[in-house]
């Protein structure tokens, strides 16, 4: 029996580097040799009056050997699970069948012993000092199994949980048997930079149904990811962004005009969502959605958001995705949403578009790509445009208005700046003044700092045979997943101080401008040194897989905020408790938000 190398015990990650067919062949070979080895090792003959209690007389070594098999191959395929967890103990049962009067008793005993030994040895290994992540602190529940995080995250508050863990344990926390969360700037580049790690197995669970063609965001092979990202990069170049001004301007006009007509309190968060969805449909498919006019009559927003909690659970336990896709009826909302987008993509391709939208670049209408993406790839990226571009921007804009209404000084300052650059009659959809509008940019960045829509960041994985990676002072061994926890990083007083948990846009201004406004010590009470470390500001992630839509997102947010502030006055609706905002904000990888009831009135100068 050849010695089996000991790897980390996580059962869920496939080895990215090893071809599947070779995996299965060597798994089978090892399985057979282990079975032969096991049958020699089992105590024989076993006493005939064998009971569950007698299990302790049986040598548990064979099951431990199968645990090593799990560790080595980390099978994610249901067939491998059946082979290892059902067929092996069934075969062992068969070996002793002739010596026992009752097949049920020996089967029960073999299965019990086999599974409990695997379980105990896996748990013991994960908690042992021999585990590669043993030196990193973290709660026992996290170190034992990712099912714990799946459970915690189902309530939508994983960002707060990670935040508390970092407060308790420090900059690096072991949040899974095989996963680390970082809260320091030194880890950003080694994990996500140009020589960083590829995307983690998180996406195998999240996009489990995409077995053949994956959306770009879920591609774990860096070379393939780079190939697919090329048309996206052209679609977000400065020239392309200039071309989107008209598409954006029309939607923003429609949005603000619709708001002006509202006599009753409205849920501003919902209106903003409808606006971002319509705008993203314009960008991705040249139109096809008019929620601002019709409301969400097809329940599309519900389809988009209802799958998020389940998707988050699958990101924690990716192998569950293999079972999930086989279950009839499960995830039907997500499937409906995807087919809705696929139809739009086909229509856009056949009908063409009057303007150069994002799809123009994605389907390479200009014919400049040497290996243009296939239509299936583009259709899948069309879905991505909507998912990645609408919820994120909607959450940031909603948080921004919540923060402005909770901080009247900031509200007044922003309004004064908007009035200076876009007085009544000036077209607020023009982007000409955006670079000079320091307070506008400060308000947007402060909202992204406090409420980054991808609250917990994006996972990376050190593949097997990669040799691992040094992230700052900490080593990330191969086979380990890791991420920088954005919510904790953005609220760390070493990087943003004073008042790291407070909405304070003035921190983004130059020192002279801040002093002119009486900060940082306007009350003479706050003696905390001022810190503002831009390297720790990563709401759009970092490196070659960061948010490709970042510039569009800024352009969209600046334009819509300018026009809203130019034409409307806002206030919280009576009875609204501002504390609800943070409570209702849920981390389902992309954040979801609660209601934002506001009263609106057209500004006197615009009437
Ligand atoms: C406030 C707005 C937005 C925020 C905070 C945001 C944030 C993010 C983050 C954190 C990622 C994950 C990157 C990673 O895995 O490291 C991402 C990816 C992505 N975002 Fe955004 N996003 C925003 C708006 C948009 C918009 C408007 C679009 C336009 C379609 C967009 C398109 C994408 C795409 C295509 C990816 C995948 C990039 C890749 O894998 O290469 N995002 N975004």
Mean pLDDT in residue range 557-580: 96
Q: How many CA atoms lie within 13 A of 503 on its CB side?
A: 20
Q: Could you write out the DSSP letters of every residue in 265-301?
A: -EEHHHHHHHHHHHHHHHHHHS----HHHH-STT-HH
Gap from CA of 148 to ligand 1 centroid (Å):
27
- Lowest-pLDDT range, 85-99, 199-213, 376-390, 561-575? 85-99
pLDDT at 251: 96
Neighbours of 551 (CB within 10 A): 15
What is the rounded distance in angstroms from the CA atom of residue 141 to the CA atom of residue 144?
Answer: 5
340 band by pLDDT with thresholds 50, 70 and 90:
confident
Answer yes or no: is the C-beta of 540 below 6 A from any ligand 1 atom. Answer: yes
Exposure string (b/e) for 469-492, b if CB count within 10 Å is 16 or more? bebbebebbbbbbbbbbbbbbbbb
Contacts of 450 (CB under 8 A, 6+ apart): 399, 403, 490, 491, 501, 503
Q: Which single residue is written with the structure tokens 């949980």?
A: 161
What is the arithmetic mean of pLDDT over 389-410?
96
pLDDT band at 71 (very low <50, low <70, confident <90, very high): low
Question: 508 CB contacts (<8 Å, ≥6 apart)?
Answer: 438, 441, 442, 445, 446, 532
Q: For ligand 1, say whether the CB of 387 is within 6 Å of any of its atoms.
A: no
Please name every residue paired with 597 in a beta bridge, in sequence order, or none if there are none. Answer: 267
Known binding-site residues equal 547
How much is the pLDDT for 607?
54
Q: Whose CA is nearest to atom 40 of ligand 1?
A: 217
Q: Residue 113 — φ and ψ, nearest 5°?
A: -65, -45
Coil, strand or helix at 129: coil
458 within ligand 1 shell (Cβ under 6 A): yes
Going from the Cα of 306 to the center of ligand 1, the distance in angstroms, rounded, reads: 20
Residue (of 464, 565, 599) closest to 16 by Cα position: 464
Q: How high is the pLDDT of residue 116? A: 81
CA distance 478 to 482: 11
Ligand 1 geometric centre to CA of 585 (Å)? 19
CB 147 within 8 A of CB 448: no
Q: Is the CB of 553 under 6 A from ligand 1?
A: yes
What value does the mean pLDDT take over residues 325-344? 74
- Distance from the CA of 550 to the center of ligand 1, in angstroms? 7
CA distances from 582 to 255, 296, 426 (A): 26, 25, 35
From the CB of residue 536, how many other CB atoms can be counted at a distance below 10 Å?
21
Q: What is the pLDDT of residue 66?
A: 62
Provide the token pair at 240.
């392309």
Residue 315: CB within 6 Å of ligand 1?
no
Q: Please state the pTM of the whole predicted model.
A: 0.87
Arithmetic mean of pLDDT, 339-343: 78
| Atom 14 of ligand 1: nearest residue by CA position | 546
Task: Give the pLDDT score at 15.
Answer: 34
39 Cα to the center of ligand 1, angstroms: 54
Contact yes or no for 347/288 (Cβ under 8 A): yes
The answer, yes or no, to whether any atom of ligand 1 lies below 6 A from the CB of 216, is yes
Give 223-232 pLDDT, tens digit per residue: 999 988 988 9
378 lines ligand 1 (CB under 6 A): no
Best of 357, 549, 551, 559 to mutate for ligand 1, by most ligand atoms within 8 A of CB? Answer: 549
pLDDT in tens, 125-155: 999 999 999 999 999 999 999 999 999 999 9
- In the predicted model, is pLDDT for residue 180 greater than 80? yes
Give the pairing type, strands 481-484 and 179-182: parallel
- Please give the pLDDT value at position 265: 96
Contacts 24+ apart (CB under 8 A), 520-526: 526/498, 526/499
Rounded CA gap, 449 and 536, in Å?
A: 10
Nearest-CA residue for ligand 1 atom 1 is: 393
φ, ψ (nearest 5 deg) of residue 574: -55, 140
Contacts of 66 (CB under 8 A, 6+ apart): 34, 84, 88, 114, 118
Q: Please determine, for residue 473, whether its predicted confidence score (pLDDT) is greater than 90.
A: no
The CA-atom distances, in angstroms, between 191 and each of 414, 427, 492, 545 are 36, 43, 19, 11
Give the residue ranges of the annotated binding site for heme.
547
CA distance 71 to 97: 29
Rounded to whole angstroms, how far apart are CA atoms 318 and 310? Answer: 11
Span 242-263, pLDDT tens digits? 989 999 999 999 999 999 999 9
Is 27's C-beta closer than 6 angstroms to any atom of ligand 1? Answer: no
**What value does the mean pLDDT of the chain take?**
84
Mean pLDDT of 385-408: 95
Q: Model confidence at 522, in pLDDT bands (50, 70, 90)?
A: low
Residue nearest to atom 41 of ligand 1 (CA): 545
Report whether residue 198 contacts ligand 1, using a CB cutoff of 6 Å.
Answer: no
CB of 461 within 6 A of ligand 1: the answer is no
């Amino acid at each position: 029996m050849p010695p089996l190398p000991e790897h980390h015990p996580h059962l869920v990650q496939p080895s990215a580097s090893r071809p599947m067919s070779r995996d299965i062949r060597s798994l089978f070979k090892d399985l057979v040799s282990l079975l032969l080895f096991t049958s020699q090792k089992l105590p024989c003959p076993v006493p005939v009056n064998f009971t569950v209690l007698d299990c302790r007389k049986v040598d548990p070594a064979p099951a431990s050997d199968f645990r090593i098999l799990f560790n080595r191959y980390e099978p994610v395929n249901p067939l491998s699970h059946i082979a290892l967890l059902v067929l092996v103990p069934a075969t062992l049962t068969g070996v002793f069948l002739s010596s026992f009067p009752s097949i049920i008793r020996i089967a029960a005993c073999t299965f019990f012993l086999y599974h409990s030994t695997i379980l105990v040895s896996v748990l013991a290994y994960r908690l042992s000092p021999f585990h590669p992540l043993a030196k990193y602190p973290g709660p026992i529940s996290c170190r034992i199994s990712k099912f714990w995080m799946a459970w915690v995250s189902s309530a939508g508050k994983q960002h707060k949980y990670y935040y508390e863990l970092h407060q308790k344990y420090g900059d690096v926390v072991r949040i899974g048997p095989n996963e680390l969360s970082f809260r320091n700037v030194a880890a950003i580049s080694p994990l996500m930079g140009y020589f960083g790690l590829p995307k983690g197995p998180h996406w195998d669970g999240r996009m489990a149904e995409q077995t053949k063609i994956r959306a770009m965001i879920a591609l774990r092979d860096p070379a393939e990811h780079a190939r697919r990202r090329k048309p996206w990069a052209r679609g977000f170049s400065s020239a392309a962004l200039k071309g989107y001004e008209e598409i954006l301007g029309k939607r923003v006009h429609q949005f603000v005009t619709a708001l002006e007509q509202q006599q009753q309190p409205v849920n501003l968060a919902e209106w903003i969502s409808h606006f971002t969805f319509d705008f993203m449909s314009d960008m991705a498919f040249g139109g096809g959605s008019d929620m601002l006019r019709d409301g969400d009559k097809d329940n599309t927003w519900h389809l988009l958001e209802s799958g998020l909690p389940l998707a988050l659970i699958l990101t924690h336990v990716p192998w569950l995705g293999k079972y999930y896709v086989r279950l009839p009826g499960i995830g039907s909302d997500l499937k409906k949403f995807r087919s809705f987008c696929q139809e739009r993509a086909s229509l856009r391709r056949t009908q063409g578009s009057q303007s150069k939208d994002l799809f123009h670049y994605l389907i390479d209408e200009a014919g400049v790509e040497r290996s243009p993406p296939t239509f299936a790839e583009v259709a899948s990226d069309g879905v991505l445009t909507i998912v990645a571009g609408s919820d994120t921007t909607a959450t940031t804009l909603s948080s921004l208005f919540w923060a402005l209404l909770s901080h009247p000084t900031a509200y007044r300052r922003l309004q004064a700046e908007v009035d200076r650059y876009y007085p009544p009659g000036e077209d607020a959809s023009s982007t000409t003044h955006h670079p000079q509008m320091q307070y506008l940019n400060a308000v947007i960045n402060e909202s992204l700092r406090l409420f980054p829509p991808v609250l917990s960041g994006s996972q990376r994985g050190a593949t097997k045979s990669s040799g691992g990676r040094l992230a700052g002072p900490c080593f990330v061994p191969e086979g380990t997943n890791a991420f920088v926890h954005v919510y904790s990083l953005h609220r760390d007083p070493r990087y943003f101080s004073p008042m790291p948990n407070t909405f304070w846009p003035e921190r983004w201004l130059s020192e002279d401008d801040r002093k002119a406004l009486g900060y940082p010590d306007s009350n003479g009470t706050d003696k905390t040194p001022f810190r503002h470390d831009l390297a720790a500001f990563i709401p759009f992630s970092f490196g070659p897989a960061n948010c490709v839509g970042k510039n569009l997102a800024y352009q969209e947010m600046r334009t819509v905020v300018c026009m809203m502030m130019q034409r409307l006055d806002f206030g919280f609706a009576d009875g609204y408790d501002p504390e609800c905002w943070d409570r209702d904000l849920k981390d389902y990888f992309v954040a979801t938000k609660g209601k934002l009831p506001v009263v609106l009135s057209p500004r006197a100068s615009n009437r």
